[in-house]
Every structure is written in structure tokens, then in C-alpha cells.
Structure 1
Amino acid sequence: MSEKVLNKDIFERDRAGEPVSIDDPEYPKLKEMMLRAAELTTRLNTSFHDEDEIRSLFSELIGSEVDKSSRVTPPFYTDFGRNIKVGKNVFINHACTFMDRGGITIEDDTKIGPKANLITSNHPLDPAHRKELISTPIWIKRNVWIGAGATILPGVTIGENSVVAAAAVVTQNVPPNTVVAGVPAKVIKTL
């Protein structure tokens, strides 16, 4: 391995899609961030907050200011928080789960239905490596609508203006201007 690769910290390795084990000597750094996310989501989810308070807590969770045009309806769940990027005029309905260690980017004008799941991490199939997670980013392009209970899996990009039907499980990239549905999701209509 090159010296540059050896000098990557656990956050860089995790975001780069390298396997990260709970036995990694730097894992406590990840665990600390996950505990921070748990504390912030507990504050967000267990008390009433007006829209400004929700936006403030969500901004603290993701580590960047959320535009006033965007809205999150608690409860909201995440394992990490710091790898979520939210554009303008985004709506995230209640009870969504974002496992964002691989990174989740949500572009402007996107609507995400209740109980949607955006999952960027997965375990290797090899039983000997199940203590590891491999994280790859999810990218939701502009003006997407994700229906209630849909699940977007690691590494998927949802193309601009597309619709993911309720309860769909998206395992592959979705072309722009299409509607996908089913398990696994398939294109059912062009817009």
C-alpha cells in the first residue's frame, strides 16, 4: 500500500468504500460520532419543536446549515448524520431512516415520503467478514419524489425528476425522468 493510503483516517476509508471493521483500532472514533447522532436524534424525536428548532437540530446533526425552504418532519433516524447533504426546497416526511456513513446527497426540490429508508452501508457476503461494513454513497438528483416506505440501497443514484413508488426497493441506478416500482425496482414508466 502507498503511504497516502496508509495515512487515511477511518472516516476517509469509510467514505471511500473501504471495508471498516468494528475491530479496527480507530473504530471508537466512528462510534463516538454514532453516539453523537443518537443523542441529537433523541432530542429531535422526543419533544415538540417548531420548524425553526427542527431545522436547527437537523443542521447540527448534519454539520451544515439547512436552508429555510427545506423541512424535516420528526421522527427522523440516522446512524451517523454528518454525511448527509440537503439542498433547497427538500421535504423529508416522518419516520425516515438515513444510514449515511457512505454519504447521502439530496438535491433541490426533492420530496421523501414517510418511512423511506436510504441505506449506504452493507456487510460483505463472506461470513468471515461480517464484522465489516462497506459504505457507498446515495445520490438523489433534483426534483425526485420518493414514495412512502421505499428503500434505496448503497451506491444508487436516482435521476432527476424521477419517482420511486411506495415500498419499492431500489438496487440499481434510476434513469432521469422515469417511474420505478417493485422489488427489486424496475422502470414502469417514462415521464
Structure 2
Amino acid sequence: MKTEKEKMIAGEHYSAVDATLIKDRRRAKNLLHRLNVIEYRITKKAREIIKELIPNAGANFYIEPPFHCDYGYNIECGENVFFNVNCVVLDCAAVTIGSNVFFAPGVQLYTATHPLEAELRKSLESALPISIGDNCWIGGNSVICPGITIGNGCVIGAGSVVTKDIPENSLAVGNPAKVIRKLNQE
């Protein structure tokens, strides 16, 4: 039988009030408190906290506080990833980010989702992974919804709500985000 954590990571319905998940979220919140309140500036100690919070990040991984996430361990990043201020990553499922990816202020990545049926929603939730390719720029206050894949070389315009996959080398804008043109075509 699967644990609630295994169900969560697999994208199945799970109980978020499971003791292990509560403990994991508390650990992340304690690290975030240290990063966002005690350190706030990017110091050697802040870099150590970030490495402990998000151990699966490549070289030159940078977070400008404040930053928020649920667990941290479900976030995997390539090299040269930059999160500007006020970014939120609800990482109940895997969040895979390529290299050379820039997140403007206020970007929100949501893997968490809930059943549409009210009775199920009272006690269960689920999560779907998010994948963002290499060389992307996600504009300020954009929202990336559960289960979304954004291809390599994309730009998501500020304020966009991404509800469908975005093919590589695309400029997508709006709510819901729509591809308005191709990029990086030589």
C-alpha cells in the first residue's frame, strides 16, 4: 500500500493532513522563515538554506527573497535559474525546470489541484507535475497551472495564466495564455 507522500508524488488523490507531509511542510516553512525573514539578503548562510531547501538545483541557482514553496524537494532545476521576489512554487508534484530560466516577480507555479466533487474535496487533493524547458523567461505575475509543460526557448508574457502546454520557441500571452508567435527561428 502506498504512503500518502507516494500518492502525492504519483499524482493520485492523497490526504494532505498526513503526518509525514505535515512534517515535511513544517521543515520547508522553517527553512523559508530563515531565508525570508532572518537572512533576507543573499548571504553565504542564505545560500546554505536554499541548498538545503531545494537540494536538486544546478549551479548558479538564485532566489531573491521572499520565496515560498510547499516542500522544496520536488523542485529540480538546471543551471542558471533565477527566481525574482515573491515567487510561489506549490511543489506537491515534480517541478522540473531546465537551465537558463528566469522567473520575474510574482510568478506562481501550481502543481496542487483539487477534486471537482465537493465531497472528495473535503478530504483529498492531488497534484500534477510542471515542466519548463531550457532558455525560458516567465513574465511577472504569471500563473502556471497543474500538469503544464512549457517547451524550450519560450517566453510567457506578464500576467499570463498558462492552462495548456506551450510548444517550444513560443511567445504566449494572456488569460488563458495563447501562443501569438514563434521565437528563435533563424
What TM-score does the superposition give when structure 1 sets the normalisation length? 0.90
Amino acid in the other structure paired with 1:89: N
Instruction: Tell me how large the CA RMSD over aligned residues is.
Output: 1.4
The alignment status of 1:151 with 2:143, answered yes or no, reads yes
The alignment status of 1:190 with 2:177, answered yes or no, reads no
Do 1:164 and 1:180's aligned partners in 2 also have CA atoms closer than 8 Å?
yes
The alignment status of 1:161 with 2:141, answered yes or no, reads no
Match of 1:60 in 2: 52
After superposition, give the CA deviation of every residue in 1:99-139 in whole Å (9 maximum; x if it has no partner). 00111111100001111000001111100011211111101
Amino acid in the other structure paired with 2:149: T
Match of 1:17 in 2: 11
The alignment status of 1:77 with 2:71, answered yes or no, reads no
Q: Secondary structure at the match of 2:175?
A: coil
Deviation of 1:47 after TM superposition, in Å, equals 2.6
Do 1:83 and 1:102's aligned partners in 2 also have CA atoms closer than 8 Å?
yes
Q: Secondary structure at the match of 1:33?
A: helix
Matched residues in 1 for 2:77 and 2:46: separation? 14
Do 2:113 and 2:127's aligned partners in 1 also have CA atoms closer than 8 Å?
yes
Percent of aligned positions with the same letter in both sequences? 37
Match of 1:176 in 2: 168
Question: 1:73/1:47 Cα in 2 relative to 1: closer, same or farther (>3 Å)?
Answer: same
Q: Secondary structure at the match of 2:38?
A: coil
Amino acid in the other structure paired with 1:121: A
Instruction: Structure 2 unaligned segments of length 5 or more: list them.
Output: none
Matched residues in 2 for 1:70 and 1:80: separation? 17
Pairing partner for 1:35 from 26, 40, 56? 26
Matched residues in 2 for 1:144 and 1:183: separation? 19
Do 1:54 and 1:72's aligned partners in 2 also have CA atoms closer than 8 Å?
no
The alignment status of 1:142 with 2:129, answered yes or no, reads no
Instruction: Structure 1 unaligned segments of length 5 or more: list them.
Output: 1-5
Matched residues in 1 for 2:85 and 2:109: separation? 14
Q: Secondary structure at the match of 2:125?
A: strand
How many residue pairs match? The answer is 181
Amino acid in the other structure paired with 1:118: L
What TM-score does the superposition give when structure 2 sets the normalisation length? 0.92
Amino acid in the other structure paired with 1:61: L
